[in-house]
Structure 1
Amino acid sequence: MIRSAGTTPSLTARVRRHIAEGHIDATPAAVMTAVRREADAAALGDNAVLHLAGRVRDQLVGAGPLAPLLADPAVTDILVNGVEVWVDRGAGLHRAAADLGSPEDVRRLAQRLAAACGRRLDDGHPYADARLPDGTRLHAVLPPVAMNGPCLSLRTFRQRPFSLPDLVGRGAVPAALAPVLAAVVAARLAYLVTGGTGSGKTTLLATLLGLVPSTERIVLVEDAAELRPVHPHVVTLQGRTANVEGAGAIGLTDLVRQALRMRPDRLVIGECRGAEIADLLSAMNTGHEGGAGTLHANAPADVPARLEALGLLGGLPRAALHAQAVAAIQVILQVRRTDRGRVLDSIGVLLPTGEQHLATVIPAWDRERGLGCGAPSLARMFAERGVPVPPLLGAVAATPWASSVPAPAVVGERSW
């Protein structure tokens, strides 16, 4: 049970009533005073009252029974279905023994969290997507849209981003691949980190941005600010949703155009999912090398189709999209979630193939198969940009197929 001894709904209700009737801000001191008044402080002692006041304040202005889970550094996701709580500590979802009370208690919790982010959540607007003050991402849906009761999805924020050695130590990146990833950044190759929801795209991207030289300026464009790379010169632009009147929305397309006027050495889009892909490709084709972003894709072979769909939203015809994509993006890093955690699954190079020179992802490395036919092309890109070829690719750098890759008849695993 997450609710501690002595923290009863009646005590919380009495403290809430005391603060509301006195028009008092629910500061830690005010909650402490109210708890001392409403509880038997003499019997509990100072330490117990202090602990109890913290619990009560969580019930009033914080995450309530979810606060201990949010404080657990191993937890990456918290999902609430009605009154059931599920958590992900990197190895899949498991039930958590958290007592949220009734569905009405969960509804109040969701509304309180949304209100703390300046979002409306009620019967007239039964869903909200927001970011809590500590960086945690919140998504909430209320009945009748959510048929089985209120639903909350919380994606926790890691205060200290991973370093590349951290990812190697956790098994997310093979040790032999670490120099390859570092070389991608050093060579200023443009790359996309692709994968499914919750596969670790943002984590890997933030880690790689930490490898950018300190003399360069990184401008991040995000729908919700998640990237916190360890770098001395980072500027973050965050999109804004419309207000209650439906006005004031600022999309990523507008922010990309603003970012281009801010002298970025590295232009990064946290998640490419709309018409902003057209502006990003245009920027990468006009001297802004080393750009990056994340993209939802089930497999590397699906990336060109995803880019096509997004390019159409931005008014890019198919032929123009493929021409710009192969000129702007060089590397695709695919990540996925496994039973053992999130891992780098493959590295591919985006090359024009076939008579129409359509963008195709050619595998350079795969976790199960090793090096692929795109490895020589990747090694050649490093050499052409004056970056030492990593040892893993050194053996294939001089092979005859380093200068040309045959166009596969079928894209994907069979093009290996």
Structure 2
Amino acid sequence: MSIDARTRPEPAVGPALLEFVREALLADGGRVTDERIARAVRASGHVLGAAGTLSAVRSIRAELTGLGPLQHELPAEGLTDVWINGAHEVWWEAGAGPVRIPSPFKDDDEVRALAVRLVSSAGRRLDEAHPCVDVQTDGGMRVHAVLPPVSTGGTLISVRFRHRDVITVDDLVASRTVSPEILELLLSATARGANLLVTGSTGAGKTTVLNALLGACPPHERIVLIEDAAELRPLHPHVVGLQARHPNVEGSGAIGLAELVRQSLRMRPDRIVVGECRGAEIRELLTALNTGHRGAGTVHANSADAVPARLAALGALGGMNSEAVALQAGSALDLVVHLGRREARRVVEAVALVQERNGALQMTTASRLTVSGYRPGPGWQRFAELAERGEEP
């Protein structure tokens, strides 16, 4: 008796088919899509039929983009980071500090296979010729992987997860990231056109705070986001995004942040936002903010006081001397909002004014977080004026 096609069991995806599809996707380059997977399945020579191909596409996509045996060991809500330090050490964080869990991996081969799957799902290659790769998957995960012998303790995988829900200003207050009084002044200053630089270490909450502040921009403004990996999602009605492109396996086709800033100037932006300044793009951002555009950006820095040195170092990568950086930044930037971690909380540690004096860039503290709360500094009055100046939006 024949088996009805509707009840015929779906074919399993074997390792040979999975490996063929993975290699085909890597050879073509580009991101993993259902169409590309289906094309590779058909090219493999496996006769699966329409229903079988559809099932294979679903299974292969899950295999290529999931977190493997670790998937069910992680919290369902609030997850921000996962770190896999070889086969025997796994950590995750959901906002309250790192938590170590038993590793589900048998050996480093399993960890390496997971790293290769995640990287290949974003259209990149991870192998001996490319042992260090940073990608963003279509699902919004930011994945960084390092292979031995560059890594001395086995394959390393660092995964950052994008918040499913956009963090609002109310969330910032509820999580004690910033006091209501300081937040109100920052929102008002942003709405009235102040140019911001949000600083801090990795994971300090720069993107989260910038997202909330950009939501205060007047609704008639057009905001252009420029990022290495798309993470900003401000609650604003008119936002467009540009994302840098890494070189392909032949080493060509890259489009960097500096080029994207130049392209954004032709898009009639009211605000230009660079998600993370790491190099020569700081020159383009400062130039744009000195030619009638408003904007913001984030920079890694140890403190608000360390921002001048950090900007000078970044400017040097763009061919600017320290005096040129000071003159440009002093004219382009109004406020620095510095974030840090205290007792596993992300907090606004300081707000400072950006000023150029005698060819040098200086930070003047407007408010600083102490054990007893925020205390005003010598720049407090000017900070209040920034929040009150200009026309009502």
User: Same fold judged by TM-score > 0.5?
Assistant: yes
* SS of residue paired to 1:194: strand
**Residue 359 of structure 1: aligned partner:** 361
The Cα shift of 1:25 comes to 11
Q: Deviations over 1:252-294 (max 9, x none)?
A: 11110000110001100000111111111111111102x1000
- Does residue 68 (structure 1) correspond to residue 66 (structure 2)? The answer is no
Q: Deviations over 1:152-210 (max 9, x none)?
A: 00001112110001110111111222211211211110000000111111111111112
2:14 aligns with one of 10, 13, 16: 16
- Does residue 343 (structure 1) correspond to residue 343 (structure 2)? The answer is no
1:10-409 equivalence runs, <5 A: 15-17=13-15, 19-20=17-18, 23=44, 58-59=62-63, 61-68=65-72, 72-83=76-87, 84-289=89-294, 291-353=295-357, 356-368=358-370, 370-386=375-391
Q: Deviations over 1:77-100 (max 9, x none)?
A: 100001221011222212123402
Which amino acid is the alignment partner of residue 345 of structure 2?
Answer: G
Aligned equivalents of 1:234 and 1:57: distance in 2? 30
The Cα shift of 1:58 comes to 4.5
* SS of residue paired to 2:220: coil
Where does structure 1 lack aligned partners over 5 or more consecutive residues?
A: 1-13, 35-52, 389-416
* SS of residue paired to 1:367: strand
What CA RMSD, in Å, does the superposition of the two structures yield over aligned residues?
2.6
Aligned equivalents of 1:196 and 1:30: distance in 2? 48
Aligned equivalents of 2:252 and 2:167: distance in 1? 38
Which amino acid is the alignment partner of residue 214 of structure 1?
Answer: P
Q: Deviations over 1:217-268 (max 9, x none)?
A: 1101111111111222111111111111111111111110000110001100
Aligned equivalents of 2:159 and 2:232: distance in 1? 16
Which amino acid is the alignment partner of residue 155 of structure 2?
Answer: P
Aligned equivalents of 2:47 and 2:362: distance in 1? 58
Which amino acid is the alignment partner of residue 247 of structure 1?
Answer: S
Pair 1:264–1:70, CA change in 2 (3 A)? farther
Aligned equivalents of 2:61 and 2:230: distance in 1? 27
Q: Deviations over 1:60-116 (max 9, x none)?
A: 652212323666222211000012210112222121234022110111111011111
* SS of residue paired to 2:190: helix
Pair 1:70–1:116, CA change in 2 (3 A)? farther
Aligned equivalents of 1:320 and 1:309: distance in 2? 12
Q: Deviations over 1:353-403 (max 9, x none)?
A: 4xx252211110111151111001112233332469xxxxxxxxxxxxxxx
Aligned equivalents of 1:60 and 1:282: distance in 2? 42
Aligned equivalents of 1:168 and 1:375: distance in 2? 21
Where does structure 2 lack aligned partners over 5 or more consecutive residues?
A: 1-11, 21-40
The Cα shift of 1:299 comes to 0.5
Pair 1:122–1:299, CA change in 2 (3 A)? same
Aligned equivalents of 1:324 and 1:18: distance in 2? 57
Aligned equivalents of 1:271 and 1:73: distance in 2? 26
Please say if residues 189 and 386 of structure 2, whose CA atoms lie closer than 8 Å, have aligned partners that are also in contact.
no
Pair 1:25–1:87, CA change in 2 (3 A)? farther
* SS of residue paired to 1:362: strand
Aligned equivalents of 1:105 and 1:60: distance in 2? 13
* SS of residue paired to 2:352: strand
Structure 1 residue ranges, 4+ long, deviating more than 3 angstroms after superposition: 17-26, 29-34, 56-61, 68-71
Please say if residues 345 and 367 of structure 1, whose CA atoms lie closer than 8 Å, have aligned partners that are also in contact.
yes
Aligned equivalents of 1:82 and 1:345: distance in 2? 34
Aligned equivalents of 2:384 and 2:86: distance in 1? 52
Which amino acid is the alignment partner of residue 276 of structure 1?
Answer: E
Aligned equivalents of 2:272 and 2:383: distance in 1? 22
